[in-house]
């Protein structure tokens, strides 16, 4: 086991002017499960492939433990990678697939058999060791791919979206198995996904990337409760945070019929380049339904109700914001507000409900930089 360090690691693909990964600085502790997450094209898989030695590092360096592996061949880095597409040999049995890397390395046959059986027991694959991959389900094939990594006993596991080929139910089941397995083995793991729900449920810490730049690193709770900027706030969480561009009028921020009182700390942090505006965000569960007469209430005209059994979400548009260039909603450039309400209490579509942000649960960001402001 070992730490992993990205020290200003940069990757620029031939023919590109801007880096796909730009001066990435990241410290991953020994035995930690770190998740790299972000939208498509943000540089997360490139970062993983740089660590694996499958992509060149144009500047900066990468260390595994105290060893600089920037120019070391992949086979000499003591890492094991689990790919998105399983990459199993179809003509080999599960046993032979899992032990193939050890066979190539010249490991004695008895040792290979011992390690494969140990890994198979951990992964619940003992009864499938004689089967070919075509006789396995998607989830079983993914476990075989993981078993192939485990038997090598590497210093670092690398996982590149290993669950994306599984159906939704199996994905939920398998992600809990992977997280539990990593914690029991204690091997440093770097896991890439575009699914922020996977990131929140699996990782000890999360690193969010956008356009090749690291946006924030922290625990799932830190990411959810204290996003560093507007991008992280809108990306982490499902459903997404409601975000809107508000105009500051005295000590009140307004958009449509919504009025949110600002603290003196927020007012002091607003700069001239913000143009008298701030971005305010609040999560669907941070809203409470109140009466029309309640102070600081926000009127929302409902368009859709989503009953999920244990939860219910209501979707609607802010009253008074019709035709405005400034939008308030969940998701990029959306004018649809999402409110979480207790199950079986949701009003009918077409009604207007009044909601209010629970004290201390608003998130305020600079209109010019997107950085978090004191609330």
Look at residue 314 in the predicted model and tell me its pLDDT. Answer: 93
Q: Rounded distance, CA 354 to CA 318, Å?
A: 10
Domain boundary among 233, 251, 278: 233
The answer to whether 64 touches 156, Cβ cutoff 8 Å, is yes
Same domain, yes or no, for 80 and 189? yes
Same domain, yes or no, for 180 and 253? no
Which two structure tokens, joined as six digits, stand for 193?
């996904």
Look at residue 279 in the predicted model and tell me its pLDDT. Answer: 96
| 3-state DSSP of the chain | CCCEEEEEEEECCCCCCCCCEEEEEEEECCCCEEEEECCCCCCHHHHHHHHHCCCCCCEEEEEECCEECCCCCHHHCCEEEECCCCCCCCCCCHHHHHHHHHHHCCCCHHHHHHHHHHHHHHHCCHHHCCCCHHHCCHHHHHHHHHHHHHCCCCCEEEEECCCCCCCHHHHHHHHHHHHHHHHHHCCEEEEEECCHHHHHHHCCEEEEEECCEEEEEECHHHHHHCCCEHHHHHHCCCCCCEEEEEEEECCEEEECCEEEECCHHHHHHCCHHHCCEEEEEECHHHEEEECCCCCCCEEEEEEEEEECCCCEEEEEEECCCCCCCCCEEECCCCCCEEEEECCCCCCCCCCEEEEEECCCCCEEEECCCCEEECC
Q: Which domain holds residue 260?
A: 234-373
Domain boundary among 182, 207, 233: 233
Q: CA 351 → CA 51, 225, 323, distances in Å?
A: 53, 31, 20
Identify the sign of the CA torsion 130, 132, 136, 139. positive
Q: What angle do CA 296, 300, 303 make, to 5 degrees?
A: 170
pLDDT (tens digit, 0 to 9) for every residue of the chain, 375 residues total?
699 999 999 999 999 999 999 999 999 999 999 999 999 999 999 999 999 999 999 999 999 999 999 999 999 999 999 988 888 999 999 999 999 989 998 999 999 999 999 999 988 899 999 999 999 988 899 889 989 999 988 999 999 998 888 888 888 888 888 898 899 889 999 999 998 889 999 999 999 999 999 999 999 999 999 999 999 999 999 899 999 999 999 999 999 999 999 999 999 999 999 999 999 999 999 999 999 888 888 999 999 989 888 888 999 999 988 777 788 999 888 889 999 998 888 788 888 999 999 999 999 999 999 999 998
Taking each helix axis from N to C end, the angle separating 168-185 and 138-150, rounded to the nearest 10 degrees, works out to 20
Q: Rounded distance, CA 207 to CA 38, Å?
A: 8
Q: Rounded distance, CA 63 to CA 72, Å?
A: 10
Same domain, yes or no, for 255 and 196? no
The residue to which tokens 């949701």 are assigned: 346
What's the CATH number where 251 sits? 2.40.50.140
Look at residue 263 in the predicted model and tell me its pLDDT. Answer: 94
Same domain, yes or no, for 216 and 276? no
Same domain, yes or no, for 179 and 75? yes
Look at residue 321 in the predicted model and tell me its pLDDT. Answer: 81
Same domain, yes or no, for 175 and 261? no
Q: Rounded distance, CA 281 to CA 4, Å?
A: 34
* Total domains in the fold of the chain: 2
Look at residue 164 in the predicted model and tell me its pLDDT. Answer: 83
Q: CA 54 → CA 41, 57, 159, 227, 294, distances in Å?
A: 17, 10, 14, 32, 59
Same domain, yes or no, for 150 and 238? no
Same domain, yes or no, for 331 and 283? yes
CA count, 13 A, side-chain hemisphere, 356: 13
Same domain, yes or no, for 223 and 344? no
Domain boundary among 233, 258, 291: 233
Look at residue 142 in the predicted model and tell me its pLDDT. Answer: 87
Look at residue 1 in the predicted model and tell me its pLDDT. Answer: 67
Q: Rounded distance, CA 182 to CA 188, Å?
A: 8
Same domain, yes or no, for 268 and 344? yes
What's the CATH number where 163 sits? 3.40.50.300
Same domain, yes or no, for 58 and 185? yes
Same domain, yes or no, for 211 and 241? no
């Amino acid at each position: 086991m070992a730490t992993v360090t990205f020290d200003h690691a940069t990757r620029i693909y031939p023919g590109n002017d801007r880096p796909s990964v730009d001066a990435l600085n990241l410290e991953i502790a020994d035995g930690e499960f770190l998740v790299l997450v972000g939208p498509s094209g943000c540089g997360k898989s490139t970062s993983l492939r740089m660590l694996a030695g499958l992509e060149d590092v144009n500047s900066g360096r990468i260390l595994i433990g105290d060893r600089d592996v920037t120019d070391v061949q992949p086979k000499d880095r003591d890492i094991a990678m689990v790919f998105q597409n399983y990459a199993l040999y179809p003509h080999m049995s599960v046993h032979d697939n899992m032990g193939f890397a050890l066979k190539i390395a010249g490991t004695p046959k008895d040792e290979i058999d011992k390690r494969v059986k140990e890994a198979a027991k951990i992964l619940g694959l003992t009864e499938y060791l004689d089967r070919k991959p075509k006789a396995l389900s998607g989830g079983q094939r993914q476990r075989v791919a993981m078993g192939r990594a485990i038997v090598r006993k590497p210093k670092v596991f690398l996982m590149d979206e290993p669950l994306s080929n599984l159906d939704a139910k199996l994905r939920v089941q398998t992600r809990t198995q992977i997280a539990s397995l990593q914690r029991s083995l204690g091997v440093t793991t770097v896991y890439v996904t575009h699914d922020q729900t996977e990131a929140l449920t699996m990782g000890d810490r999360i690193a969010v990337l956008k356009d090749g730049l690291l946006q924030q690193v922290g625990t799932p709770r830190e990411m959810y409760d204290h996003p560093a900027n507007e991008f992280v706030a809108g990306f982490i969480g499902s459903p997404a945070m409601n975000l809107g561009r508000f105009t500051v009028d005295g000590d009140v921020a307004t958009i449509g019929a919504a009025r949110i009182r600002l603290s003196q700390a927020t007012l002091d942090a607003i700069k001239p380049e913000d143009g008298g505006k701030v971005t305010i965000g609040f999560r669907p569960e941070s809203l409470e339904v109140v009466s029309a007469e309640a102070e600081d209430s926000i009127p929302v005209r409902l368009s859709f109700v989503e009953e999920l059994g244990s939860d219910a979400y209501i979707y609607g548009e802010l009253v008074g914001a019709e035709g405005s260039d400034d939008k308030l909603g969940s998701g990029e450039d959306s004018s649809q507000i999402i409110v979480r309400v207790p199950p079986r209490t949701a009003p009918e579509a077409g009604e207007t409900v009044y909601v209010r942000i629970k004290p201390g649960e608003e998130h305020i960001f600079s209109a010019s930089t997107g950085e978090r402001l004191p609330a």
